[in-house]
Amino acid sequence: QVQLVQSASELKEPGASVKVSCKASGYTLTDYPINWVRQAPGQGLEWMGWINTKTGTPTYAPGFTGRFVFSLDTSVSTTYLQINSLKAEDTAFYYCARIGRGPGWYFELWGRGTLVTVSS
């Protein structure tokens, strides 16, 4: 079954770091780039950027530079989102998403999301 399996929810204190994982199952990770999307509680969707799964090169959307880091480990078919120096406003669901087979980068396959809660 083709799916993206994300890590469990996290509770962190302000200033800490968190690393969210997204494992590709049922297909070859390097065949498609992986995108990351943030959704604050009760809010809309924000595209954070993507990682080239062939080269490991990340691209960050405006507003997601500096504290946010995309990485991957192809040996375990997994991509990662690390957020450093966590702030309360980072509390959100974080989704990984894979593009479809058609032209353009619409998101055909989504992980179930990882809730990161930042609170003291």
Q: Which residues bind another protein (CB under 8 A)?
A: 37, 44-47, 59, 61-62, 95, 100, 102-108, 110-113
Structure tokens at 34: 């992986």
Q: How many angstroms separate the CA atoms of 85 and 72, rounded?
A: 21
Least Cβ distance, residue 107 to another protein (angstroms): 6
What tokens does 110 get?
A: 């989504």
Which residue number, 14 or 100, has a Cβ lying nearer to another protein?
100
Measure the CA–CA gap between 11 and 70, rounded to whole angstroms. Answer: 20
How far apart are CB 59 and another protein at their closest, in Å? 8
Least Å from the CB of residue 116 to another protein:
15
3-state secondary structure of 78: strand
How far is residue 90's CA from residue 115's CA, in Å, rounded to a whole number? 10
Closer residue to another protein in complex, CB, 14/108: 108
Minimal distance in Å, beta carbon 61 to another protein?
4
Residue 74: how many other CB atoms lie within 10 Å: 14
Comparison of 89 and 102: residue with beta carbon closer to another protein: 102
Residue number with CB closer to another protein (27 or 107): 107
Q: Are 2 and 28 in contact (CB under 8 A)?
A: no
